[in-house]
Amino acid sequence: MEDRMTAMKTVGIVAATVAATALIGGGAYWFYRRRQKKKDAEAEEAEAPADADDDGSDPVTPEERRARGHYVPRTEIDADVMKKFEEAFGGGYAPPKDEVIDHLTQEDVVLFGVESEPVPGYPETREEVLTAKVRTVERSVVRARVIGPVVHAEHHGSHAGHGFRVGDMVEVPRGVILLAARPKPTEAKGYDSQGKSAATFQPSHKTKKTYEIHPGTPYDLVMPYITEDIEWYVDRELVKFELIGTKGLHQQIVFSEGSMRGGVTLRALDRDPETGLVFVARWELDIQP
């Protein structure tokens, strides 16, 4: 009986030893494969940078892919684009003369053509007629701020975007101006009365982001809630803004052209009759030129 027990113990020890050896061997092999894969991956990264193209060509930088475009002279605008433009403004269309441009004011707008430029990955181009609100009239250009709508600013599919965005300050050469006009007076007030919002911003105290904005351009702020007792505060005296209107929990605002450029904090506070001012939301903004 004792010999049998000894034999069984021996078998158990052998079995345990075989199992342990298998586990160690399997673990060692797994560790070896993992280490080898890591070395192979590091070697591949060393040979081909992360931003290299699949064909092994030189890496393409974000700057090379940036949406960009140029002004299009009146005589070079695509026939289809020009046809739609002329149809919109009637058969008697004629480009403005210099004396008309000389007397433009900040109540006026200019229309001009732009074309996108091909960049890596986006070989096709687009043309678009844009509208901009006049800021100053100079000898060779009109400085103006782009207003919406803008359709082809960004890349899409195989088409390159032209990079002219709502809110951008542009210097439009006189020779590319298609039309100069004064919009009809309107009594429209409230949300979207000054154009569609260029962007919508969640509160910075949640996103930890600072948003770039332009003067004279509507933006939507996403409010946690809205009451009749909301009060607004900016932390710089030389920054002025206007509340345009409300739609749901979106509060639309626009900063004046006369506002000092740079960083500004905008806060919404709720004046509670019992507890006083209650924090609602905060936006960190950077006013661009």
Q: Same domain for 40 and 86?
A: no
At 108 the pLDDT is: 95
At 204 the pLDDT is: 98
Q: Same domain for 109 and 164?
A: yes
Parent domain of 252:
200-287
The residue to which tokens 């008309």 are assigned = 100
The vertex-183 CA angle with 181 and 184, nearest 5°, equals 130
Give 169: exposed, middle or buried? Use CB within 10 Å, 0-12, 13-18, 19+. middle
Q: Same domain for 94 and 143?
A: yes
195 in a domain, yes or no? no
At 175 the pLDDT is: 93
Which residue among 119, 146, 181 closes a domain?
A: 181
Dihedral sign (CA 28, 33, 38, 43): positive
Per this entry, what is the length of the chain?
289
Backbone angles phi, psi at 4, to 5 degrees: -65, -40
Q: Which residues of the chain have pLDDT under 50?
A: 1-32, 46-52
Backbone angles phi, psi at 78, to 5 degrees: -50, 140
Q: In one letter, which amino acid is 43?
A: A
Q: How many CB atoms lie within 10 A of CB 33?
A: 10
Rounded CA-CA distance 264/267 in Å is 10
233 in a domain, yes or no? yes
187 in a domain, yes or no? no
At 101 the pLDDT is: 96
At 49 the pLDDT is: 45
256 in a domain, yes or no? yes
270 in a domain, yes or no? yes
Q: In one letter, which amino acid is 127?
A: E
Nearest to 131 by CA among 114, 146, 144: 146
DSSP secondary structure letter of residue 159: B
Rounded CA-CA distance 104/93 in Å is 18
Considering its fold, how many domains does the chain have in total?
Answer: 3
